[in-house]
Amino acid sequence: MKNIGILGGTFDPFHLGHLSIMEAAAEERLFDRIILLPARVSPFKIGREIADREDRIAMLECVAAEYPSVTVSRLEIDSTRVSYTFDTLTEMQKQCPGDRLWFIVGSDSLLSLERWYKGRELLRGFSFVLAPRPGFDRTDTEAHIRRYRELYGTEIRILHNRLKDISSTEIKKNIREGKSIDSLVPGPVADYINEHRLYQ
């Protein structure tokens, strides 16, 4: 059985905050591989303008090319429907029978997991890794983890490494203002953005 980390998001664009999650998971040896899962439509971001899906895929492929254990899934981005985590992970589990899927979420999402679409089934059926966000309180978080474990049998782990807090809004603002984004996104992503004149 392999442990597979699923890192989902709009990735508009992929930035060093995302990369720090991948690197922390690698340092802690949590996963045999990581799948980057770009969303076509996030239920929480409907109506917001985002980069073309092929550009977002291409930026992720630039990242995956640097990391042999990282792949990119088109499952959500090619879907014609609004994507929900439970549906996506259920489909991915069919594609990876016998493997264990770990969905990576920000620690600020922990409290709301039960309210997600089919939240209770989600908590019963899958495992989670929490990426600490600003304001992270370990004592409070561990209490909620115990509660989920008691109610649903959910296994939840916490990344211990310090993660970078980077905003895609800040990246786009820097681009519009002609400022460098080298400290915000990986080099190959910056090169792609500049070459294709994205977010200008």
Close Cβ partners of 183 (under 8 Å, ≥ 6 residues apart)? 16
- Which of the four pLDDT bands, split at 50, 70 and 90, describes residue 47? very low
Q: Are 36 and 172 in contact (CB under 8 A)?
A: no
- What domains, with CATH codes, occur in the chain? 3-196 (3.40.50.620)
pTM of the model: 0.92
pLDDT, one tens digit per residue, over 8-40 is 999 999 999 999 999 999 999 999 999 999 998
Question: What is residue 41's predicted lDDT score, i.e. its pLDDT?
Answer: 63
Q: Pull the structure tokens for residue 90.
A: 């259920």
Is the pLDDT score of 134 beyond 90? no
